[in-house]
């Protein structure tokens, strides 16, 4: 296993461009984690959104992974309500905590212009009918911002995601079992190594395009074994075929030996998930009636996992005695 992990580390360094700001971000994350752990808070690292895999170095075209970022963004809010500080590692322009609640609204439709008296352009006011609850959400957003409870970090490409996740894992290793990883991002399994990528735009005059892509190293392996071995790690398993979902989730737990897998099927992911751990299998459901009352499945996922994290911390502490 040690050999496998060092080969993944080697591959990361050689075949995935290192973002120039990775060390700076790592320091920021380490300081954030240390500050909150000192204040008695737990810290969760949430990954959210899909990764982009370029086909050309001067990128015109790329492959993307499906994910709106809603699961990650809403989960961030519920973790904060549960007393956690959140590092939100998300795809640029995917859904964001709090603002996600207004993502379908055109900002200009939500504003009204009141004529000014004289030269000025007038006064702009928010239309409460278009933006219901804006004051309540804004109040909470400002409290979270002022309390420094949310640290947003952006990625775009698969390379950025992999290096920033590694940096996050190393940054959080100092707080041991108080750290949770919640890997909700939809990560590409395939990529073209930098050394094999054409520099310029692929020309259609050369005929149909044939792509040969390599397997992305399974980052969960070094994360669990090497980079953050004391943390509570939750991965996600997304399938489109419900008949293979649970088997795949269990297989992931057997392979990586982490703490939990949240298993979901693409079409039903907003209403049904299964949280699988080595000892348990919890089905979480949100009915149409719940949805009408504003209940979201992420609230139940977060409640289930924070309870499991509590238990994990107690067991780790008992094991050390
Ligand atoms: O964002 P939304 O629209 O709300 O949708 C939410 C979601 C469906 C994207 C989310 O619930 C989800 O299932 N995310 C994980 C999707 C995924 O990539 O599954 P996977 O089976 O390909 O990967 C399984 C796990 O391995 C993931 O936790 C991933 O972080 C990890 N992985 C993946 C590839 C890779 N090279 N290394 C990894 O460690």
Nearest-atom index, ligand 1, CA of 65: 18
Residue 5: per-residue pLDDT: 61
Q: Which two tokens stand for residue 239?
A: 């399938």
The mean-pLDDT minimum among 2-11, 94-103, 261-270, 283-292 falls in 2-11
Shortest CA distance to 97 belongs to which of 139, 33, 147, 141? 141
Q: What is the pTM of this model?
A: 0.95
Q: Is residue 60 exposed (0-12), middle (13-18) or buried (19+ Cβ within 10 Å)?
A: exposed
Q: Is 69 in the pocket of ligand 1 (CB under 6 A)?
A: yes
Residue 194: per-residue pLDDT: 84
- Beta carbons of 84 and 43 less than 8 angstroms apart: yes
Q: Is 161 in the pocket of ligand 1 (CB under 6 A)?
A: no
Residue-wise pLDDT for 142-167, tens only, equals 999 999 999 999 999 999 999 999 99
The mean-pLDDT minimum among 1-10, 100-109, 116-125 falls in 1-10
- Length of the chain as a residue count: 321
Nearest-atom index, ligand 1, CA of 261: 28
Shortest CA distance to 193 belongs to which of 6, 39, 15, 55? 15
Residue-wise pLDDT for 247-272, tens only, equals 999 999 999 999 999 999 999 999 99
- How many Å lie between the centroid of ligand 1 and the Cα of residue 89? 13
Q: Whose CA is nearest to atom 10 of ligand 1?
A: 184
Q: Whose CA is nearest to atom 30 of ligand 1?
A: 183
Nearest-atom index, ligand 1, CA of 238: 13
Nearest-atom index, ligand 1, CA of 184: 14
- DSSP states of 210-268: ----EEPP-THHHIIIIISTTSEEEEEEEES-GGGHHHHHHHHHHHH--SEEEEEEGGG
Residue-wise pLDDT for 185-223, tens only, equals 999 999 998 889 999 999 999 999 999 999 999 999 999
Q: Are strands 84-91 and 62-64 parallel, antiparallel or unpaired?
A: unpaired
Please, which pLDDT band fits residue 2 given cuts at 50, 70 and 90? low
Residue-wise pLDDT for 277-321, tens only, equals 999 999 999 999 999 999 999 999 999 999 999 999 999 999 876
Q: Is 236 in the pocket of ligand 1 (CB under 6 A)?
A: yes
- How many Å lie between the centroid of ligand 1 and the Cα of residue 125? 41
What mean pLDDT value characterizes the chain? 94
Residue 116: per-residue pLDDT: 74
User: How far, in Å, CA of 134 to CA of 111, rounded?
Assistant: 12
Please, which pLDDT band fits residue 4 given cuts at 50, 70 and 90? low
Q: Which two tokens stand for residue 302?
A: 């977060």
Domains and CATH numbers, the chain: 2-101+122-246 (3.40.50.10300)
Q: Is 11 in the pocket of ligand 1 (CB under 6 A)?
A: no
- Could you identify the residue written with the tokens 């390599």? 214
Residue-wise pLDDT for 18-62, tens only, equals 999 999 999 999 999 999 999 999 999 999 999 999 999 999 999
CA-atom Rg of the chain in angstroms: 22
Q: Is 71 in the pocket of ligand 1 (CB under 6 A)?
A: yes
Q: Is 70 in the pocket of ligand 1 (CB under 6 A)?
A: yes
Q: Is 189 in the pocket of ligand 1 (CB under 6 A)?
A: yes
User: How far, in Å, CA of 72 to CA of 79, rounded?
Assistant: 10
């Amino acid at each position: 296993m040690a050999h496998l992990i060092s080969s993944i580390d080697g591959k990361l360094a050689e075949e995935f461009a290192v973002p120039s700001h990775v060390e700076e971000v790592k320091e920021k994350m380490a300081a954030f984690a240390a500050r909150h752990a000192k204040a008695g808070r737990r810290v969760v690292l949430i990954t959210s959104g899909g990764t982009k895999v370029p086909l050309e170095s001067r990128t015109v075209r790329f492959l993307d992974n499906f994910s709106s970022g809603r699961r990650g963004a809403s989960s961030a809010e519920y973790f904060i309500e549960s007393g956690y500080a959140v590092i939100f590692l998300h795809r640029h322009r995917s859904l964001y905590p709090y603002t996600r609640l207004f993502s379908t609204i055109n900002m200009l439709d939500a504003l009204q212009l009141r004529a000014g008296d004289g030269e000025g352009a007038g006064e702009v006011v928010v239309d409460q009918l278009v933006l219901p609850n804006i004051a309540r959400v804004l109040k909470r957003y400002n409290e979270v911002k002022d309390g420094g409870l949310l640290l947003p970090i952006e990625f775009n490409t698969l390379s950025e995601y992999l290096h920033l996740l590694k940096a996050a894992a190393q940054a959080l290793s100092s707080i041991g079992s108080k750290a949770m990883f919640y890997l909700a991002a939809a990560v590409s399994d395939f990529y073209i190594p930098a050394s094999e990528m054409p520099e310029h735009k692929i020309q259609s005059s050369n005929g149909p395009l044939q792509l040969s892509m390599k397997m992305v190293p399974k980052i969960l392996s070094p994360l669990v074994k090497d980079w953050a071995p004391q943390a509570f790690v939750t991965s996600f398993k997304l399938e489109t075929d419900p008949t293979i979902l649970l088997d795949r989730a269990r297989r992931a737990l057997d392979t990586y030996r982490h703490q939990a897998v949240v298993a979901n099927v693409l079409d039903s992911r907003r209403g049904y998930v299964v949280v699988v751990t080595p000892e348990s299998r919890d089905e979480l459901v949100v009915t149409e009636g719940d949805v009408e009352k504003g209940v979201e499945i992420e609230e139940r996922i977060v409640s289930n996992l924070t309870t499991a994290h509590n238990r994990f911390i107690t067991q780790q502490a008992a094991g050390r005695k």
